[in-house]
Chains A and B, each alone.
Chain A
Amino acid sequence: MSLIETLPHKLGSSVPWMEKGGVLWLDPGPLAVRKLCAEMNAAKARFITITTYQLPGTEGFRLEYHWDIEGQLLGFPFKLEGNSIDSIYDMCEAADWIEREIHEEYAIEFTGREYEPLLLRAGDTPGVNLREEVKK
């Protein structure tokens, strides 16, 4: 069994990977993002990015976390009921800038970390959903 094939079991998932759009997806279910990050670190996976989707109406957000193992892109979607999720920055340094960017662009709180402005300039307010301005 390859490392990737063993991961669903290690992550406590009863469903296998699903290949879609060039990515192997796994529904993390109740798994906390920090537990996922710890398993990815243990598997020596390379963190790629987090992609944010604002869902229609008041459905909140979906964050897709991506790691790479031996050239295979892995995806883990997390549905946010509110606007906060645990930060993984202290476990995965590579997630720093993307967490800051998502906080600035979508007003999502990554709990357990502090922010400094990334893309915004002095005088701007971090944590404002910039997409709301696009909609107007």
Chain B
Amino acid sequence: MSYKIPMGPYHPALEEPYKLDLICEGETVCDAKLHIGFNFRGIEHLAETRNYIQVTALMERVCGICSNIHTLTLCQAMEQLAGQAPPPRAKYIRVIMAELERLHSHVLWAGIASKLMGFKTMFMTCFEIREKVMDVLAAISGNRVNYSMNRIGGVNRDIQDPQAILAMINQLESEMMHAVIPIFTTSSTARSRCAGIGVLNEEKAISCGVVGPTARASGLPQDIRRAAPYAAYPELEFNVPVEPAGDVRARLLVRALEIIESISILRQALEKLPPGEIDTGDDKVKFITGTATSRVEAPRGEVMYSVSWKEGSRNPSRVHVRTPTYVNMPAVRWMVQGARLADTPLIQASIDPCYSCTDR
């Protein structure tokens, strides 16, 4: 006999309000239904009532983890309509902020995953390291969450002392390589808890259109930084980690390897940081009529913004945001089918869901 177990919208295993209705037979999950919308704020429509400065501040608040990515994607789209290209130094600073945000997001996720694995010491270690990443972000931007770094035509703050930031990155790398990476790549505890559960095979990953580490852990080598490079990424060398297994462990491995790649990108960007201005210096922004689209590889996967403007208008006529969790979350239904009920919190967390982004 099957029965339904509602998990959420407010539940210790869920970081944000959403609901999973799990259809079970005994301890086995047969199917799941997802419910979102508990954070729906109508931000896309609100954006139509904001000017280009206000809309940047507004879209930074779509997400509390990848706030910088949202303004980066938005500004890249608006720059196409305003005919402005950021100077090289600004492009490098954008990459530095984006990779620091990826580090912060992946370490935060590693902490939550550790807690769900029952590995609470690791949770504390990850959160301690995350604080240090946020210290670096605060040292550059002056802020811990909404960094206010991106603007049309460049960035708002310079990196005055790249060597000091590099020293902080070296310290972070040392701690991650000693504490986090070995646990997630070689620990038998992590392996036994994560291997073979929550499988999303390659065929299903393509069908669901999943993105980011969720796609790369199902054998799909897609990464917008590589496929359609933006900012300073064309000038930097990095690998795109791909794991074919499609299970929770593969998602763990991909993120662990991405932490190493992010540190490598950060080191290259700080060492190559070109001299010069950090913005175009053009304070009078004029938009042409049209629609521009931009895509960026956020920590959870590809973010896309479509921005429409009418020449002479104060506000955008449309801002559409497609976030990574929006396409990753429906795949959870397939990941939990056949899983043990006790594994579902870890499986749903393995895509690193963000409902602030999804509900917008």
Residue ranges of A at the interface with B (Cβ–Cβ < 8 Å): 20-23, 44, 46-49, 51-53, 64, 66, 68, 70-73, 75, 92-94, 96-98, 117-121, 130-131, 134
Residue B157 CB within 8 A of the other chain: no
Residue B179 CB within 8 A of the other chain: no
| CB-nearest residue of chain A to B33 | A116
Contact A119 B359 (CB under 8 A): yes
| CB-nearest residue of chain B to A47 | B209
Contact B290 A131 (CB under 8 A): no
**C-alpha gap A66/B228 in the complex (Å):** 15
Q: Cβ of A96: which chain B residues have Cβ within 8 Å of it?
A: 330
Q: Which listed residue (B80, B295, B330) contacts A73, Cβ 8 A? A: B295
Residue B23 CB within 8 A of the other chain: no
Q: Cβ of A118: which chain B residues have Cβ within 8 Å of it?
A: 36-37
Contact A121 B293 (CB under 8 A): no
**C-alpha gap A92/B317 in the complex (Å):** 29
**C-alpha gap A49/B228 in the complex (Å):** 17
Chain B: number of interface residues, binned into ranges? 35 or more
Among all A-B residue pairs, the 5 with the closest Cβ atoms: A71-B227, A94-B209, A21-B292, A119-B37, A49-B322
Q: Which listed residue (A22, A44, A134) contacts B293, Cβ 8 A? A: A22
> Least Cβ distance of A107 to chain B in Å?
14
Pick from B40-48, B52-60, B143-151, B235-243 the stretch touching chain A. B40-48
**C-alpha gap A73/B347 in the complex (Å):** 31
Q: Which listed residue (A21, A70, A94, A119) contacts B40, Cβ 8 A? A: A119
Give the contacts of B276-308 with A (CB-CB under 8 A). 290-295, 302, 304, 306, 308
> Least Cβ distance of A43 to chain B in Å?
12
Contact B48 A134 (CB under 8 A): yes
Residue B184 CB within 8 A of the other chain: no
**C-alpha gap A51/B317 in the complex (Å):** 13
**C-alpha gap A52/B290 in the complex (Å):** 14
Residue ranges of B at the interface with A (Cβ–Cβ < 8 Å): 36-38, 40, 42, 45, 48-49, 77, 80-81, 206-209, 222, 224, 226-228, 290-295, 302, 304, 306, 308, 317-318, 320, 322, 326-327, 330, 359
| CB-nearest residue of chain A to B302 | A48
Contact A70 B330 (CB under 8 A): no
Known A21-B292, A73-B293, A118-B37: A51·B320 in contact at CB below 8 Å: yes
> Least Cβ distance of A55 to chain B in Å?
10
With contacts defined as CB atoms under 8 Å apart, how many contacts are there between chain A and chain B in the complex? Answer: 85
Q: Cβ of B206: which chain A residues have Cβ within 8 Å of it?
A: 44, 46
Contact A49 B304 (CB under 8 A): yes
> Least Cβ distance of B82 to chain A in Å?
12
**C-alpha gap A92/B209 in the complex (Å):** 9
| CB-nearest residue of chain A to B291 | A21
Q: Cβ of B292: which chain A residues have Cβ within 8 Å of it?
A: 21-22
Contact A71 B304 (CB under 8 A): no
Q: Cβ of B224: which chain A residues have Cβ within 8 Å of it?
A: 71
Q: Cβ of A130: which chain B residues have Cβ within 8 Å of it?
A: 42, 45
List 27 interface pairs A-B (beta carbons < 8 Å), by A numbering: A20-B291, A22-B293, A22-B294, A44-B206, A46-B209, A48-B302, A51-B306, A51-B320, A53-B308, A71-B228, A73-B228, A73-B293, A75-B293, A92-B209, A93-B330, A94-B207, A94-B208, A94-B209, A94-B327, A96-B330, A98-B322, A118-B37, A130-B42, A131-B45, A134-B45, A134-B48, A134-B49
Further pairs besides A44-B206, A96-B330, A130-B45: 18, Cβ < 8 Å? A20-B290, A21-B80, A21-B290, A23-B293, A46-B222, A48-B302, A48-B322, A49-B304, A49-B320, A51-B306, A52-B320, A71-B226, A73-B304, A92-B209, A118-B36, A119-B359, A120-B37, A121-B37
> Least Cβ distance of B308 to chain A in Å?
7
Q: Cβ of A71: which chain B residues have Cβ within 8 Å of it?
A: 224, 226-228
Q: Cβ of B318: which chain A residues have Cβ within 8 Å of it?
A: 51, 53
Contact B209 A21 (CB under 8 A): no
**C-alpha gap A131/B47 in the complex (Å):** 12
Q: Which listed residue (A64, A93, A119) contacts B306, Cβ 8 A? A: A64
Q: Which interface residue of B42, B45, B209, B228 has the most chain A CB atoms within 10 A?
A: B209
